[in-house]
Every structure is written in structure tokens, then in C-alpha cells.
Chain A
């Protein structure tokens, strides 16, 4: 009840609570001028509840049936643990790789003029617009031992498809837009005069980057990477085609949920889901905090 009340409109603190129709009284500017508050908020809360909150709560209720000891046993079996490690580890590597390359790409797109720039710029969003199943079969066709890139890599003794490396490639694909799109506006705003000044003072480009550029973009870089990490963590469609799905080697956690579901182990499936949900929520709050912090820092400058 307490949370429901919290989510509902309250008189602004400090103002004496009006005796009636408290909901309509907000700050002076909006004081009962615009209509439709009850209608739209009612609908929003109703819709959020039936589409998101109620279904989501079933996951927590179902996994609670296990009890804490069984829950712990389920999520720490070596196969489940391996899948969680691959999902988290793979997403982390993909996010780090994209942090580096995404920064270079964002820099090239905002700071350099070259033919085809607009096309490359639009291409950044392709992983987001391309359905994951399409990405999955396309990446598999490319990196399979008889594919265009797979054949070349096989000469170097590197196997991508059907190995954990394939998982990382698919994750890097889906998470790229987040890093680039988060960085671009910030890099565009960055005061180039400061960089020039730093260079005229004799700093090398590396030094300028390290001491001038990086400090002002790194909260944003972190935000973008965290967004990418969050997406890669839950990714399913593009990964399962290329992963090979070998137990304890290239099984991702979402697939583990599917497998448990197919073995009639509903509570076990939801236990893994709950671990991932908690991670997602933590990430979401972390990202929100990061964004606020990055905004404040940028305003302060």
C-alpha cells in the first residue's frame, strides 16, 4: 500500500495539505489548469501493472517456492554457474571492446569529415533495427568454419562460431549502438579550444586524450558501456545461433532458463531468471545514477 500511495500524486512538501481534491493541487504553475491527469495516470498505472508488474511478480513468487537453500543450490550448480559466468563475462568483454572501438567510432563520426560519413553514421543503429534472429544467422554464416570470415580466421587457428568467442562477437554486435550513441553528443559538445590549448602547451595527442578528453567523457563512456552491457547480458536471439550451446562452455544464461523450462523445472528456471532480473534492476538503477551524475558534471563545466 505504501508504495502505491508513493506512486500517486501528493501535494508538494511544505504546502499545507488542502482538505479536498488533493490530487489536482500541484505546484502553482500547473494548478488544476491542464486536464486529463487522472485519466492518463490511471491508464498508465493500469497498463504498467497488467503488462509488466503482475507478470513480472510471478517470477519472484514462483522462485520463492524453492526456499533460500534450494534457490542457492540451483543457481550454484556448475552448469548454471558456468552459463551465468559466460553471460556476465561475455557481456563485460563485449562492453569493454565496444568502449574502445565505440569511442574511436564516435570520435571519427563527430570530428572527421569523409565521404560516406552519413551512411556509416546510420549504420550504427543497424544492430538495433535488425531483428536478432537475422543477426544470429548472418553472424553464424560469416564466422562458421566455411564462412567468409571463419575461413580466414581458421587459417590463423582461431575458431569463432560455436565457441565462447562467438558469443562475445554476437554480444559486441548488439551492444555497439549504445556506446556510440551515448558518446556522440558529448564528444560533439566538447570544447575543442581546450584541446587545442593543451596541444599548444606541448602536450602530445595521447596526453591530451588522457588528461583533457578522457576526464570529461568518461562518465558518459561508462554509461554507454553499462547500457551495452545490460543489453548484451540478456541477449538471446543473435547469440544462440552462433554459440553452439555446449554445456559449461558456450551456454548462456537465457538459454539455461529455456532448458530448465523444457525439463519441467519451472522453479529452477525462474531462479535463474530472478538472478538475471536482479542484475538488470541493479544495472538500471546504476545507469540512472550515472546519467544524473554525468549530466551534473557536464552542467558544472
Chain B
């Protein structure tokens, strides 16, 4: 039976294989055509403007130094979403994500990078820092001053989903750090504060961009828990005078990390360029661009030059200090069944 069918259908199968072969042959043909060197930087939501400027400066510098054209391609999305795409095979030469947890996944889920990835570049591989601030509407009509005001009746808070967004995780940890440092606080009171806080969230977007969009363009909510750089951008460029920034008494020192994706650069033969790209972030020019885009630069010179544009946070806690590092923070708060699931009742 089968033999007869095969004979009758052989011609059909050949025709099918020919047309299918076209699909399979495509990537190879496409690669041969790509003469200039390309790097793919897979990054998080908030860095679109930053890397647009970095890419232009880096490629110009490389061209003048080595007479070689590099083009840097960008992909942006929620930090967790982007890490998962890399784990699933997105050919990122460098990953510049919103939190160390997301970069860690490249090791734990797929061994794309070595375990000691963070030690390979200065400052734990994070070329800049940032923090979480409040963005409020003109004149601060709900008079929001600090974390305690977020849970007042009638106040709506916009923040993205900590499961998929780096910014949201930082915001969550900042709120937790504040609540757990109140006098007389216990784990139960902290959790109850967090639960109330998230009851005041009308929209939980997947990424920081979506959340900013919900707040700025769609007019939802009274407070946006935002990356400092996103808040400064929104306050200065998007709606001049429409928003103002409120700096809470306590916030978190966010250290978004960068890494070369070893498995990809070794296969593509792009390691040299990818490493040079990341090192460029630490150069005076790179730090300058970082500061111009409202991220806190690491180099003391740039930090001093741009000190005025960054609001002072009275108490800045780090994940190391307050949560004993990213791995622990992740396990306790964001893993399945962690505190976020408990307060959100998954």
C-alpha cells in the first residue's frame, strides 16, 4: 500500500521539497550578501534613545580608527521578554538588559554566557546606574510625596509587570525596601503594604515603555513608578510642564548590566567587535552620551559634570545591601510562588 502511494506521490513530494528548499536556503544566501559587519544589541525598553546615540558614535569611531564599517542593529522590549528571546535563539551579540536577573538567565537557561559574566567588565558589568522615581501630573494634584502616599485612597499607580519588566522589578524592590524599613515593620506588614500598593495599580503593562505610554499618552493613573531616565525624558521632552518628578526619600540603586553573548559571538566570529562595543560604553565619550540620556554615569568626571540633572535621593539602597543579591531577590520575590505571586494571588 505504502509503496504504491509513494510512487504515485513521488513527483508531488519532489515539487514540495523544491519549494520548501527555498525557505531553508534563504538564511545562507542572506548572510553572503551581508558584507559589512553587523552586531545585534538586544536591549530593554527604556534604552532606545541611548543606544541610538551610542551606536552612531561607536560606528563612527570604529570607522575612523579601523576604516571598517560596522552596523549595529537594535532590538528593544521588556527586559525579561528580550532575555527569553535570546534564550530561544535570537542571535544577540550583546545583551544590554534591565536587571542582572535577566542576564543571569542567559547562563542558567541556556549556558550562552559563563557563570562569572559579571566580573568581565568594570562595576559588575553595569556601565551606568539609575533609580526609580515617581512621575506625577502637573502640580502634583494628589500631593504624592513618598511611598506612603501611593496607598492613599483614590491614588492610582502605574507600574509594569515585575514578571516581565526590569523596571518593574526595581520598583517592586524599592517599595519593599522602603516598607520593610519603617519602624515596627514585620514581613506581614510589608506584604500588606505591597498588596495594597498593587491594588492601586489599574494597568500592569509588560514593559516600562508600555507603562509610560499608559500614563503619559493615555492619561491613566496619578503616579508612574518609572526609571529615572524615562521620567526625565517624559518630563523634559514629551509634555513640557505636563509632568513633574517626585523623588521618594528612599529608592533603589539600579545597575542595568551588559554582556557579550559568548555562544553567539564565537559562532559568528564577532567577539572582537562586540567586546569593543561594550568597552566603548566605559570610555569618556560613552559615559558622556550615557549622562546626556539621563542615566547616571559611572566615571567620576561625567558624574560631576552632570550632577545637577540628577535629583538627590536621600537614601539609596542596593540589591546587595537590602536583598542579599539578585539571585536571592529573584528567588524570594519573583519566582513562581514568590512574594509577588503571593500578593497578586496567582
- Which A residues form the contact surface with B (CB < 8 A)? 5, 8, 21-23, 37-47, 50, 77-79, 140, 144-146, 161-162, 244-248, 259, 261-265
Q: A42-B10, A42-B12 are in contact. List 8 more A-B contacts (CB 8 A).
A: A22-B4, A41-B9, A43-B12, A77-B346, A162-B214, A244-B204, A245-B161, A263-B163
Residues of B within 8 A of A161 (CB): 218
Separation of A259 and B10 alpha carbons in the complex (Å): 43
The reply to whether A264 and B87 form a contact with Cβ atoms under 8 Å apart is yes
Pick 5 A–B contacts, CB within 8 A, sort by A: A39-B12, A161-B218, A162-B218, A259-B163, A259-B164
A265 proximity list for chain B (CB < 8 A): 336
Contacts of B8 in A (CB 8 A): 23, 37-39, 42
**Is B84 a contact partner of A50 (Cβ separation < 8 A)?**
no
The answer to whether A262 and B84 have CB atoms under 8 Å apart is yes
Question: Residue on A with the closest CB to B334?
Answer: A263
Q: Give the shortest distance, in Å, between A200 (CB) and chain B (any CB).
A: 57
Inter-chain CA distance A270–B22, complex, in Å, is 29
A230 CB to nearest B CB, Å: 26
Choose, from B13-21, B59-67, B130-138, B275-283, the stretch at the interface: B13-21
Contact A79 B219 (CB under 8 A): no
B32 close to chain A: CB less than 8 A: no
- Residues of chain B with a CB closer than 8 A to A38's CB: 5, 7-9, 11-12
Nearest A residue (CB) for B78 = A262
Q: Which residues of B sit under 8 angstroms from A45, Cβ to Cβ? A: 9
Q: Which of A47, A79, A248, A263 has the most CB of B within 10 A?
A: A263
Which of B4, B7, B12, B164 sits near A46, CB closer than 8 Å?
B12
Whole-angstrom distance from the CB of A108 to the nearest CB of chain B?
35
- B11 contacts A42, CB within 8 Å? yes
B4 CB contacts on chain A under 8 angstroms: 21-23
Which of A37, A50, A247 interacts with B204 by CB under 8 Å?
A247
Q: Answer whether A245 and B204 are a contact pair too, CB < 8 Å, given A37-B8, A259-B163, A262-B164.
A: yes
Q: Indicate whether A39 sits within 8 Å of B9 (C-beta atoms), given known contacts A77-B346, A259-B163, A263-B84.
A: yes
Number of A-B residue pairs having CB atoms within 8 Å of each other in the complex: 105
Are the CB atoms of B13 and A5 closer together than 8 Å?
no
User: B203 CB to closest chain A CB, in angstroms?
Assistant: 4
Complex contact B20–A50 (CB within 8 A) = yes
- Contact assessment for B20 and A146 in the assembled complex, using a CB-CB cutoff below 8 Å: no
Tell me, in angstroms, the Cα distance from A146 to B345 when the chains sit together: 32
A79 near B346 with CB under 8 A, answer yes
Considering the chains assembled together, what is the distance between the CA atoms of A45 and B202 in angstroms? 49
Which of A40, A244, A264 is the one whose CB lies under 8 Å from B12? A40
Given known contacts A77-B346, A145-B220, A248-B345, A5 and B9 CB-to-CB distance under 8 angstroms: no
**Is B257 an interface position by the 8 A CB rule?**
no
Q: Of B81, B204, B220, which is within 8 A of A262 by CB?
A: B81
Contacts of B13 in A (CB 8 A): 42-43, 46
Chain B nearest CB, measured from A126 CB (Å): 25
Known: A23-B4, A78-B346. A245 touches B11 (CB 8 A): no
Residues of B within 8 A of A22 (CB): 4
Which residues does chain B contribute within 8 Å of A40, judged by CB atoms? 12
Using CB atoms and an 8 Å cutoff, list the residues of chain B in contact with chain A: 1, 4-5, 7-13, 15-16, 20, 78, 80-81, 84, 87, 105, 109, 161, 163-164, 201-206, 214, 217-220, 336, 344-346
Picked from A39, A244, A261, A263, the residue with its CB within 8 Å of the CB of B214 is: A244
CA distance in complex: A244, B210 (Å):
9
Known: A39-B11, A47-B16, A262-B80. A144 touches B218 (CB 8 A): yes
- Distance, CA A140 to CA B219, complexed state (A): 12
Inter-chain CA distance A221–B201, complex, in Å, is 41
Chain A residue contacts of B7, Cβ below 8 A: 38
Task: Give A161 to B220 CA distance when docked, in angstroms.
Answer: 10
CB distance from A11 to the nearest CB of B (A): 12
Residues of B close to A144: CB separation below 8 A:
217-219
Contact A23 B5 (CB under 8 A): yes
Q: How far is the CA of A37 from the CA of B7 in the complex (A)?
A: 12
Q: How far is the CB of A240 from chain B (nearest CB, A)?
A: 9
CB distance from A162 to the nearest CB of B (A): 5
Question: Chain A residues near B163 (CB, 8 Å)?
Answer: 259, 262-263
Beta-carbon contact of B204 and A246 below 8 Å: yes
Cα distance A247–B201 when bound, in Å?
Answer: 11
Determine the chain B residues whose CB is within 8 A of the CB of A44 once the complex forms. Answer: 12
B9 touches A261 (CB 8 A): no
Which residue of B is nearest A265, CB measured? Answer: B336
B299 CB, nearest partner CB in chain A, Å? 34
Q: Within the assembled complex, what's the spacing in Å between the Cα atoms of A246 and B204?
A: 5
- A244 lies within 8 A of B202 (CB): yes
The answer for the CA separation of A92 and B206 in the assembled complex, in Å, is: 26
Question: Which residue of A37, A145, A245 has the most chain B CB atoms within 10 A of its CB atom?
Answer: A245
Task: Tell me which residues across on chain B come within 8 A of A264, comparing CB atoms.
Answer: 84, 87, 105, 109
Residue with the greatest number of chain A CB neighbours at <10 A, chosen from B20, B105, B218, B336: B218
B87 touches A43 (CB 8 A): no
Smallest CB-CB A-B distances: 4 pairs:
A42-B9, A42-B12, A38-B8, A43-B12
**Closest CB of chain A to B287's CB: distance in Å?**
32
Shortest B328–chain A CB gap in Å is 19
| Chain A residues whose CB sits within 8 angstroms of the CB of B164 once the complex forms | 259, 262-263
Q: Least Cβ distance of B322 to chain A in Å?
A: 24
Q: Once the chains bind, are A259 and B206 in contact (CB under 8 Å)? A: yes
Nearest chain A CB to B168's CB is how many angstroms away? Answer: 12
Whether A244 lies near B203 (C-beta < 8 A) is yes
The distance from the CB of A132 to the nearest CB of chain B, in whole angstroms, is: 17
Of A8, A44, A162, A247, most buried by chain B (CB within 10 Å of CB) is A247
Docked pose: A264 CA to B334 CA in angstroms: 13
CB A245 to nearest CB in B, in angstroms, measures 6
Using Cβ atoms and an 8 Å threshold, which residues of chain B touch A245? 161, 203-206
CB <8 Å contact, A146 and B219: yes
